[in-house]
Amino acid sequence: MYIVLEGRPDRMGANLTWYIMQIIYAHFYKYFIHSYDLTFNDSIFIKTIRIFTDNYNKKLGDKLGSHDHGPRLLNWIRSSQQDWPGNNMIVCNAIQQDLVSYFKQHLYNDFREILDNNIKQNEYYLTEIIPKKKTIGVHLRLDDVSSRQDYDGNLCTEYYRNKLNTNNININLQEEHEFGNKKGIYIPTWGREYNPYDCQAPISEYKIQSIIDKTIEKYPDYDVVIIASPKGEINLPYPCIRSDNIDQDLYYLCNCSVIICSRSLYCFVSVYLSNAIEIYIPMWGHIAGTGLTSKFDKNTNLVYW
């Protein structure tokens, strides 16, 4: 059996986490992986996936690269009901473990070695993309979602967690809508394109500051650095990294000693690819689909808020 890594009509964070989900699934079942038509081909992270999957296939016995490995696995469900969180739930339920701890346990070392080598060999490699000291990296999700409102992500987190905990992983929009009514929130029944209580969105700066204060109290000799896109207003009193190079910014985040995440799939890539001693994650429904906070959660360095 083999799978073909499929991309998404989204930005890089959604695509990278989508690919990682598929790689975890293939690794668990020992399926070969084809990665010949990926989005964001110029990204160091995508190049890392290509090299990783080539090495992985060779370990499974793909000596000639003929791709003659039997039938192809069915495509991932891209309907309005399942999509990103639903497919991650399918994988989580299949491996009986959250996706982050599985990746760290089985795939991280090889993947990270390839990524680091790619960075060092690339012409844009600069010392500035590696934190100089012990650093608390704070990612802010701004840019194209800056007009969205902050919300309580624990509500939809509960919905997905309950489904995983009860082995009922098929998403039903009407059921989700009724769950929202019980919690006093409106979840649309017409599709998952934009659920205002389960989406990438900014977090109020006073909430971010409260988490920063907690981390500074715990790590008083660490520097705080904000990583964000060039667009969007920032009022927090810390140095900022705001470049046009999404590879550099993400790699910097992956090398921070402590990470304070945003509601962003771009930032969630660093949860997979960093070796931070602690990572603070604002929970929202999509992320809960990976098994975090559920009975499958085996992480010890993640702090949910």
Q: How far apart, in whole angstroms, are the C-alpha atoms of residue 79 and residue 66?
A: 32
pLDDT score, position 71: 52
Residue spans of the domains in the chain: they are 2-120, 121-148+200-274
Q: Which residues, in sequence order, are CB contacts of 275 under 8 Å at separation 6+?
A: 108, 112
What is the pTM for the complete model shown?
0.92
| Pick among 1.10.3720.10, 3.30.420.60, 3.40.50.11350, 3.40.50.2000: CATH of 121-148+200-274 | 3.40.50.11350
Q: How far apart, in whole angstroms, are the C-alpha atoms of residue 65 and residue 60?
A: 11
Task: For 216-233, write each residue's pLDDT tens digit.
Answer: 999 999 999 999 988 888
Q: How far apart, in whole angstroms, are the C-alpha atoms of residue 230 and residue 268?
A: 19
pLDDT (tens place) for every residue of the chain, 305 residues total: 788 898 888 899 999 999 999 999 999 999 999 888 898 988 999 999 999 999 999 998 875 555 555 555 555 655 555 688 989 999 999 999 999 999 999 999 999 999 999 988 875 555 556 776 799 999 999 888 888 899 999 999 999 999 999 999 887 778 888 888 898 888 776 555 568 888 899 999 999 999 999 999 999 999 999 999 888 889 999 999 998 889 989 999 999 999 999 999 999 999 999 999 999 999 999 999 999 999 999 999 999 99
The amino acid occupying position 254 is C
What is the DSSP secondary structure assignment for residue 144, as one 8-state letter?
G
Q: How many residues does the chain have?
A: 305
